[in-house]
Each structure stands twice: as C-alpha cells, then as structure tokens.
Amino acid sequence: MKQKIVDARGELCPKPLIMTRKAIKDYSGPIEIILDNETAFGNVSRFLTDNGKDMTSTEDDGLFHIFIDSDGDTSRMSAAEDYCTVPVTLNTPSDKRGFVIAIKGDKMGRGDDDLGSILIQAFCNTIIELEPLPEAIVLYNSGIKLTVEGSPVLPAFKELEQHGVKILVCGTCTDYFELKNSIGAGIISNMYDIMECLAGASKVVSP
Amino acid sequence: MKILVFESTRAVIKAEKLIRAAEIECRIIPVPRTVSPLCGMAVELDEGSLQKAAVLLEEKNIKTDVFDRGEVSL
C-alpha cells in the first residue's frame, strides 16, 4: 500500500500534532511523519502512543521519522493540541502569563530531612488553594519522587492536573532514579520543554 | 475530614510516621490560619480513620487537638 508522507519540518507545535491527526483521519494505511525538532517528536510520539497507535521511529542527522499504520479512525483520539507542551505563555503578552512552580527536590529547604519532608507535603497540598493556580509545575532531581505511585502528595498533583495545571516531570531524572514506570501524574518531559516553560513564565516560584 | 493539630513540629513528624506506618491515609497541610497564625503543620484524615489514629497517638503519648474541616477556614 502506498505510504502517505506528512512533512512537518519547520513546523512548530501544535502544527505537527494537528497535521498528524488530520493525516490519520484522511488516510488508511502506512503513514510516515517527518519532524525536525525533538520537542515536536516527543509530543507527536506521546500523542500517538497515548492513543493506542503502534509506532516505530528513526532519527537521522536531526530528522525524526515516525512510522504508523493508520486505520482512518480518529473518533476516539484526544485533541492534538492537548499534547503540545510548548507553553502557551510564549505567545501570550507578559502581563497575561501565568507563573510556574519549580520543585527541585523531595524536601523543602535544607537542614533536616524529616522536617523538609513534611514542609514539602504541606507546600504541595496547598498549591490547589492558590488563586489563580500556577500555569505549570516543573519537577526535577529528587522532586520527581513526589509524583510517583505511593507518594503522599500524588493525589494533590492529580487534582492540579484535573484543574488544567500542566505538570512536567524531568525525564532524565525519572530514568536516573529508575522510576520511569512509576510516575503517577504529569508528563515525562525533556529539558527543551522545561526550559521553555520556565523561560516563558511571568515568574518562577520554588519551595 | 478531621484536622489534627499538635504541640510541636517534632510531634507532627512522629504522628505522620505512626499514622502512615499503620497504613492510614493522611495529608500534611499547614495549620489553618484561624486555628493558629504560626507556621505550623497539621495532619488531615478521614473521619473514619480518626479513632484508629487517636489510639495510636495516645499509645505514644502524642497530644493532639482535633478540628472539623468544616469549622475552620484555611
């Protein structure tokens, strides 16, 4: 069967996601998606796998190729834009941008770990009381441990996510702590997304 | 929901460990402003777990004041 090619080189999020979704809707058969930046590759991959599409991919000299078999059915697929992790703040005037919370560790402050542990729990459980809510929460280093299954504050992050707060969990850190499969909230993210999220914020708050 | 307030931060830390060790679900929250203006921590748990938690705390001589979540504003 003839392969359809989606050439999303030079396109910024959410365009590659929209092009991918449209191609799946319009065409049944093999589709190749070509992307030239890692953020778009990450977002499109996540969009496809979350929506149950088996994909294979290759990277060659900065170009990413994703191969899928389309059944032409997008009725049960989520909205493509939801997978765009480039913060909307980047295109928003600075006075309209939200703030971002960066959680750098699983304790709050340095000195005593038992104390730091209850402080960070109280901090995380209180975020939901804020008005307005933060636009995003970025977790890195041991901070990612707060989002794993069994964490006492996982329900707090799930609730924030339901309220539209974007939660970015550092992928390198989940790999380092071997917790990639235990993350219970947020999206596993990369340094590009984290950098864009922090740089696009009106301010960054850290416990 | 019930909010348990303790005499010291060290008591909160001990209480949290005891309660979690007994596999009782709880949440650490800041002490509501209307209870105390100081920066203290409190333990929040389901009303159904209160009795079990209270017994554990009493065994270890940890004193606590219990407030109803509805009575206090944060």
- Please give the structure tokens belonging to residue B63: 């004193």
Q: Are residues A92 and A114 in the same domain?
A: yes
Strand partners, B2: B45, B68
> What is the pLDDT averaged over residues B46-56?
94
- Residue A181: CATH number of its domain: 3.40.1260.10
| Cβ count within 10 A of residue A118 | 23
Chain A hits for B4, CB-CB cut-off 8 Å, are none
Boundary-marking domain end, from A82, A101, A120: A82
Q: Of A47, A9, A5, A63, whose CA–CA distance to A29 is shortest?
A: A5
Q: Which residue of B has its CA nearest to A154?
A: B27
- In this prediction, what percent of chain A has a pLDDT beyond 90? 63
Type of residue at B5: V
Q: Do B41 and A114 touch (CB under 8 A)?
A: no
Q: Are residues A39 and A9 in the same domain?
A: yes
Q: Are residues A139 and A187 in the same domain?
A: yes
Nearest chain A CA: its distance from B23 CA (Å): 11
Query: Total domain count for chain A?
Result: 2
pLDDT of residue A2: 84
Q: Are residues A183 and A111 in the same domain?
A: yes
User: pLDDT tens across A133-190, in order?
Assistant: 999 999 999 999 999 999 999 999 999 999 999 999 998 999 999 998 999 999 998 8
Nearest chain A CA: its distance from B29 CA (Å): 4
Q: Are residues A56 and A93 in the same domain?
A: no
B8 vs B13: CA distance, rounded Å: 9
Q: Are residues A92 and A78 in the same domain?
A: no
Q: Are residues A144 and A75 in the same domain?
A: no
Q: Considering only the beta carbons, identify the residue of A125, A129, A155 that sits closest to B28.
A: A125
C-alpha torsion sign, points A91, A202, B74, B10: positive
pLDDT at A86 over 70: no
Q: Considering only the beta carbons, identify the residue of B13, B16, B30 that sits closest to A126.
A: B30
B44 vs B69: CA distance, rounded Å: 8
> What is the pLDDT averaged over residues B37-50?
87
- Residue A25: CATH number of its domain: 3.30.110.40
Q: Of A170, A153, A144, whose CA–CA distance to A118 is shortest?
A: A153
Q: Are residues A95 and A77 in the same domain?
A: no
User: pLDDT tens across A44-81, in order?
Assistant: 998 898 888 889 999 988 899 999 998 888 888 877 87
CATH number assigned to the domain covering B2-68: 3.30.70.1940
ipTM of this predicted complex? 0.80
Residue B18: alpha-carbon gap to chain centroid = 11
Boundary-marking domain end, from A32, A54, A82: A82
Boundary-marking domain end, from A40, A63, A82: A82
Chain A hits for B16, CB-CB cut-off 8 Å, are 118
Domain span including residue A116:
88-205
Q: Are residues A102 and A201 in the same domain?
A: yes
Q: Considering only the beta carbons, identify the residue of A114, A122, A152 that sits closest to B30.
A: A122
A195 sits in the region (left: phi over 0; alpha: psi -120 to 50; else beta) called alpha
- Relative to beta strand B64-68, strand B26-30 is unpaired
Q: Do A118 and B20 touch (CB under 8 A)?
A: no
Q: Are residues A145 and A159 in the same domain?
A: yes
pLDDT of residue B40: 85
- Please give the structure tokens belonging to residue B50: 């209160």
pLDDT of residue A89: 44
Residues of A with CB under 8 A from a CB of B: 114-115, 117-119, 121-122, 125-126, 129, 152, 155-156
